[in-house]
Amino acid sequence: MLADGAMGTMLFQAGLQYGDAPETWNVTHPDAVRTIQRQYIQAGSNIVLTNTFGGTRFRLAMHNLQSRVTEFNQAAVALLRAEVEASGRDDVLVAGDIGPSGEILQPLGQLSFEDAVAGFEEQARALVAAGADVIWIETMSSLDEVRAAFAGARRASADIPIITTLSFDTHGRTMMGVTPEQALQAMTELGAAGVGANCGNGTDELFAAVQRMLATGPSVPIVAKSNAGMPRLVAGKAHYDATPAEMAEYALSVRAEGASIIGACCGSSPAHIAAMAEALRANPAGLAAKPRSEPAPAETAHAATAATDERAARRAARQARESSSAR
């Protein structure tokens, strides 16, 4: 199944300002949100996420909007549902998107597990009540927080499918030290309908995380939703360079490894998804993907130079995710 690409990246192009809550656009700019989702559906996505990545009370409190959780989340589902119905397709799922709280759970932070569960439950209830087909928990780094989000979603619905992905952007682990193998085991034990990786520092990093999950012989579908390349600093903001053709090659590579839900994340666009869809259609499952090529000397030199800025780029990417609360 082909998932969608970035929402936040596209909203910024449409005029969203850094630091503003993207979820407000579900009410103030519904046509802009629907246009982006329509483009992903037209590009070939089978799973499209609602514009609710930062739709918990925790994230919205950063903008003094915590009282509008239900409003923003239900509006988001209604917008996406309308686009799916307008497309005439019956193979597109509405995925209620839940991102990290932006807090650190006790004992390292201040947020209690039960308060985290209650906050995620509030968002999940709004998404489920509005008609989401799937709950999609993404960009997590802490197993405790994923467990809290999962528990909140289960309180909202006993049977809605829940997909979970973590971001393995710190030397093959999440920022909180979780390995792909640990994430897969923990989420499978919880009963996730799909487990995988998203965001991160480019397709190579995500490919490695997915490869490690697949090597364990998973019993659930594996999700691969990479950023459009390695983020780098441009005028103080994270910029992503991967072309649609490069993302198409990534899609073929992760499918050849065994991933079965494939999409893109930060820096991507409907053009990337369209190229991925075309490549996957043109190369039926089971055919070997083109081998991941060794970098040419010039590319190696460029990578070495870029590595000196890697830490700053990662900080910028994380700051962009935190300030925008968007994918």
pLDDT of residue 320: 46
- 96-106 as b/e, with b when 16 or more CB fall inside 10 Å? bbbbbbebbbe
The candidate with the shortest Cα–Cα distance to 136, out of 31, 277, 1, is 1
Distance, CA of 231 to CA of 41 (rounded, Å): 26
Question: Rg (Cα) of the chain, in Å, rounded?
Answer: 18
pLDDT of residue 297: 35
Q: Which two tokens stand for residue 217?
A: 């012989």
> What is the SS3 assignment for 165?
strand
Distances (CA, A) of 107 to 3, 59, 104, 112, 179: 35, 20, 8, 8, 20
Distance, CA of 202 to CA of 327 (rounded, Å): 14
CB 141 within 8 A of CB 133: no
- Which superfamily is assigned to 8-324 in CATH? Homocysteine-binding-like domain (3.20.20.330)
User: For residue 1, what are the contacts with CB-CB under 8 A and spacing of at least 6?
Assistant: 46, 47, 260, 261, 262
The candidate with the shortest Cα–Cα distance to 166, out of 186, 200, 140, 192, is 140
Alpha carbon 178 to its chain centroid, in Å, reads 17
CB 238 within 8 A of CB 266: yes
pLDDT of residue 287: 52
CB 260 within 8 A of CB 213: no
Distance, CA of 101 to CA of 135 (rounded, Å): 16
**SS3 of 234-285:** ECCEEECCCCHHHHHHHHHHHHHHCCCEEEECCCCCHHHHHHHHHHHHHCCC
> What is the SS3 assignment for 288?
coil
Distance, CA of 166 to CA of 140 (rounded, Å): 4
pLDDT of residue 326: 47
Q: Which two tokens stand for residue 202?
A: 């480019």
CB 40 within 8 A of CB 86: no
pLDDT of residue 313: 43
Which residue pairs, CB below 8 angstroms and at least 24 apart, start in 314-318?
314/169, 314/201, 314/231, 316/231, 316/233, 316/236, 316/237, 316/238, 317/169, 317/201, 317/227, 317/231, 317/238, 317/266
pLDDT of residue 286: 54
Q: Which residues pair with 98 in a beta bridge?
A: 137
* pTM score, whole prediction: 0.88
User: For residue 218, what are the contacts with CB-CB under 8 A and spacing of at least 6?
Assistant: 184, 188, 195
pLDDT of residue 244: 97
Would you write out the chain's pLDDT as a tens digit for each of its 327 residues? 999 999 999 999 999 998 999 999 999 999 999 999 999 999 999 999 999 999 999 999 999 999 999 999 999 999 999 999 999 999 999 999 999 999 999 999 999 999 999 999 999 999 999 999 999 999 999 999 999 999 999 999 999 999 999 999 999 999 999 999 999 999 999 999 999 999 998 999 999 999 999 999 999 999 999 999 887 878 777 778 999 999 999 999 999 999 999 999 999 999 999 999 999 999 987 554 444 443 333 333 333 334 334 444 444 444 444 444 445
CB 277 within 8 A of CB 2: yes
